[in-house]
Amino acid sequence: GETSDSFAIEESLKELAQLADTAGLMVVGSTYQKLASPNPRTYIGSGKVAEIKSAIRAFEVETVIFDDELSPGQLRNLEKAFGGDVRVCDRTALILDIFNQRAATHEAALQASLRLFVALAQMEYQLPRLTKMWTHLERQAGGKVKGMGEKQIEVDKRILRTQIGVLKKELESVRKHRKQYRNRRFSVPVPVVSLVGYTNAGKSTLLNQLTGANVLSEDRLFATLDPTTRRVQMKNGSEFLLTDTVGFIQKLPTTLVAAFRATLEEISESSLLVHVVDISHPLAEQQIEAVEKVLAELDVSEIPKLMVWNKVDKVTDPEKIKLEAERREDIVSISALTGEGLLEFCNAVQEKLKDSMVPVEAFVP
């Protein structure tokens, strides 16, 4: 195919490798194949299956991860083809794994809701696959136990649905609780600024830089209440709450987009969205698009936005980037690492907030 096409595939695989690394796996290699259409049985062609199989033996591979979502049948066939204890999974399953790990270590405030939505997404992912598994077992048994599988499917589905129902209720109560907390927060009329952006764009670095820098101060009491939100106070006395959100990635599975809404809900109550971009990344343009796509699904078009081109210290021609940012409206270029442009950033935030100030009365519950 075209070179740019291959480039996008390679970048996506690089991201998949990073995800695998985050999940604690050691990546020994990656490969891809271009087919007119995926093989319905094994997704990849038989030659590729053989090639991967020999790599599995050579490197004692335990897990094979596919960048696209595999059907339950393809998963099963690939596992059978690779043999032994090799685990085959797709991007969705890998992301769920990571969120599961994260949910176990994440800060108290987000812990409960994160864990719930991961469990929920996992169950919703399992539900359609359950039927396939039992149909398969039944066929294996040669029809001797006909009907038994069907009954089992119904039982399993009922159990899963009950669990999903319980989780949804719990999630709802966590949401209510957080909403009450937000309402209390709003009784003090401090505008909320949400950082959004692609994973690795530099959101948490920016949050830490701003609240650690001497121009600004951090309200420690507040930090202990909600570790992902900080009070940023400017020298001129004005202040705003800066809050970090979950990082976005490309090809977010649809089941997760729905689940993400729960944690991203707070975005819709912000006075300003700051979209942090890693401008040094070769696929910055695509990452911007991926974030904007998720934002579009969140229905936040009314909220003012400011774009931040981060990591200007890393680009080959920083002057060109800075000029381009200045030329365009609503963009500031910074380096969260070196601190360059942070004051300009804060001023831009202040300027934006001025336009969107909500009267104090509106915040009183």
Contact set with ligand GDP (CB under 6 A): 197, 199-205, 247, 310-311, 313-314, 335-337
Least CB distance to ligand GDP at residue 283 (A): 15
CB closer to ligand GDP, 19 vs 119: 19
Written as six digits, the tokens of 167 are 């989780």
CB closer to ligand GDP, 121 vs 246: 246
Least CB distance to ligand GDP at residue 247 (A): 5
Least CB distance to ligand GDP at residue 335 (A): 4
**Does residue 86 contact residue 63 with C-beta atoms inside 8 Å?**
yes
CB closer to ligand GDP, 82 vs 248: 248
Which residue number has the CB closest to ligand GDP? 202
* Element holding 20 (H helix, E strand): helix 3-22
Least CB distance to ligand GDP at residue 225 (A): 20
CB closer to ligand GDP, 111 vs 205: 205
Least CB distance to ligand GDP at residue 245 (A): 9
CB closer to ligand GDP, 199 vs 286: 199
Q: Which long-range contacts (CB under 8 A, 24 or more apart) does 173-182 make?
A: 174/112, 174/113, 174/116, 175/113, 175/262, 175/265, 178/113, 178/266, 181/226, 182/266, 182/269
Cα separation, 15 vs 290, whole angstroms: 14
Buried b (16+ CB within 10 A) or exposed e, 334-360: bbbeeebbbeebbebbeebbeeeeeee
Cα separation, 98 vs 118, whole angstroms: 10
CB closer to ligand GDP, 53 vs 102: 102
Least CB distance to ligand GDP at residue 313 (A): 5
CB closer to ligand GDP, 121 vs 201: 201
Least CB distance to ligand GDP at residue 211 (A): 13
The answer for residues whose C-beta is within 8 angstroms of residue 342's C-beta and 6 or more apart is: 209, 210, 213, 215, 334, 336
Shortest CA distance to 335 belongs to which of 347, 349, 321, 348? 321
Length of the chain: 365
Least CB distance to ligand GDP at residue 148 (A): 49
Phi-psi region of 106 (alpha: psi -120 to 50; beta: other; left: phi over 0): beta
190-to-210, 213, 241, 272, 315 alpha-carbon distances in Å? 17, 20, 7, 12, 35
Cα separation, 191 vs 185, whole angstroms: 10
CB closer to ligand GDP, 191 vs 197: 197
